[in-house]
Structure 1
């Protein structure tokens, strides 16, 4: 097992709960399984996962333990150690090697059926009305039929006006979603959902703080769904389901500890009649493509948050899963990315 650090500059700074970052830093994880190489990516994001230093320490422990304990035992140890990014890196590397050995693309190795593409949403920022409408119209022109619009940085009435303007501009055939990133109080969130109801907004992502399961449960029942994203960094899927707190789960493989765990969470949510949207933590190309495979392994996935390559100013490899006309192409070669796209070392 070999571990190599990387840093990828962002096209624009990323605001997080821990401050603003201008690069995504992480580790390439190389493994050899019965003579077949696999590569994974561990890209921590504090607030969602462990820190960079903690992730590296966990990967170093895994490397030492693998020689005597075996890969699957090491994965099990990482599962409950509070190091989801580290586990993701190793889990993706192992799945990459094993799917290459099996001669199937990763999504088939995970249990999916044949899938050529996955629908994706465009993300529209939190600018003023004119800026928001222009960005939404541009995304529709590029073929996106689902738009996620950032909200929560202004008064609720202002966000309702912004989405009203977008709906008027793009028409009724385009699905609108909103993402508040936990910005609202319970009263503000209820006012927003009431205002969005006439605009046919599909759901609002994380309207309340991540730990407010009861508040999210109370918001449900109207025509606008409640989606939980940041909450899954604090609460297990079963806890969310037991609290009846969501209509939709936003599943991030890096934050959940690997493609295998992300798929398991998505399938469990579907058993409970919840939709699942697969997305990323603004990862590099290897983890992003791994998330594409997770989405492709699910039957009839809704539009997912996988069109995030443009958030990076540089990347690990050439794009293995390009986005066109509102869909991401799923690699069909064995493994997670084509052999020609595998990094050979930095």
Structure 2
């Protein structure tokens, strides 16, 4: 078995703000595993604030390449960086699913056919009128779940923004909010109380990532609490043990692979917590793998998978287009992202 690596850099259509500043290019490493003429493809796309730096990712993959001489398990054991492990484990899963002649989601889950998965639209920070107009455009395109970024303004202004969205999209559209850990406990309590009148389903990360007791204390009202950054900061088990979430926002790249993300989703369901799959603005290989992950868990609520538009260009044609509020699940063996390595 052989491992090959290839760096890539893709321009974003708009700069992405992360915990470490603004990013205009999505960089990463394609990982290809070959065995007896068959190949599997993975993607390791580190994201500042979520995973290891790109330099550490490359180092970890070089270590895995050496360890692969002792077999796949030894190579996985040699990788302790989440994005690097995601790339390697995905390449191995793609290889095995293709060998079995089944799409990745069926390799991960069971034999049930899944053709599409519901997705949400994400609306960024803007004044109420602009926020409402963007949400209305998404609904006109067929989306029936809208997530609104909050926390950059004061709570009262975010309440006005969400009320404007609700007025624009009507009562039948599911609303979510994402605070990215921006509030303290007092602000979070005030926000959730006010958001209840607007019919918000849940708020992602209303408190800083390490405040699990605070997240747990917010639960129990009409607006749910979702953990996102907390999963990378404290671990899935810590969040579940603390009773800190009604939903888990699962980013396979940040969790170290679709296999680990699926395990987390199953543990969440056992605990009565809803799993929601999303991406870290990945290139087509990892993004499509996240679609397969969501399909392996079907039925799922709307997931944050419609992120391909954040890239100005991609590694190959997108095999999972979004139409009428759902994303297509490729049915070819493996991931279905043919051509990504040669692009």
Considering the TM-score relative to the shorter chain, is it more than 0.5? yes
Could you tell me whether the CA contact under 8 Å between 2:285 and 2:340 is conserved in 1?
no
1:235 Cα deviation from its structure 2 partner: 1.4
1:160 Cα deviation from its structure 2 partner: 0.6
- Tell me the equivalent position of 1:73: 74
For 1:138-287, list aligned pairs within 5 A. Answer: 138-287=137-286
Is 1:7 equivalent to 2:9 in the alignment? yes
Describe the superposition over 1:284-317 as per-residue Cα deviations: whole angstroms up to 9, x where unpaired: 0000000000000003111000000011111111
- Tell me the equivalent position of 1:110: 108
Could you tell me whether the CA contact under 8 Å between 1:110 and 1:297 is conserved in 2?
yes
1:237 Cα deviation from its structure 2 partner: 1.0
The CA distance in 1 between the partners of 2:321 and 2:193, in whole Å, is 37
1:343 Cα deviation from its structure 2 partner: 2.4
Describe the superposition over 1:88-109 as per-residue Cα deviations: whole angstroms up to 9, x where unpaired: 0011111111100000000000
The CA distance in 1 between the partners of 2:316 and 2:231, in whole Å, is 29
Number of matched residues?
340
SS in structure 2 at match of 1:173:
coil
The CA distance in 2 between the partners of 1:210 and 1:77, in whole Å, is 28
Describe the superposition over 1:172-205 as per-residue Cα deviations: whole angstroms up to 9, x where unpaired: 1100000001111110010000001111100000
SS in structure 2 at match of 1:181:
coil
Could you tell me whether the CA contact under 8 Å between 1:33 and 1:98 is conserved in 2?
no
Could you tell me whether the CA contact under 8 Å between 2:67 and 2:78 is conserved in 1?
no
What TM-score comes out, normalization by structure 2 length?
0.97
The CA distance in 2 between the partners of 1:238 and 1:27, in whole Å, is 29
- Tell me the equivalent position of 1:16: 18
Deviates more, 1:25-34 or 1:54-63: 25-34
RMSD of aligned residue pairs (Cα, Å): 0.9
For 1:44-83, list aligned pairs within 5 A. Answer: 44-67=46-69, 69-78=70-79, 81=80, 83=81
1:35 Cα deviation from its structure 2 partner: 2.5
SS in structure 1 at match of 2:336:
coil
The CA distance in 1 between the partners of 2:143 and 2:272, in whole Å, is 26
Could you tell me whether the CA contact under 8 Å between 1:58 and 1:86 is conserved in 2?
yes
1:320 Cα deviation from its structure 2 partner: 1.2
What TM-score comes out, normalization by structure 1 length?
0.97
Instruction: Give the gaps of 5 or more residues in structure 2.
Output: none
1:114 Cα deviation from its structure 2 partner: 1.3
1:34 Cα deviation from its structure 2 partner: 3.4
Instruction: Give the gaps of 5 or more residues in structure 1.
Output: none
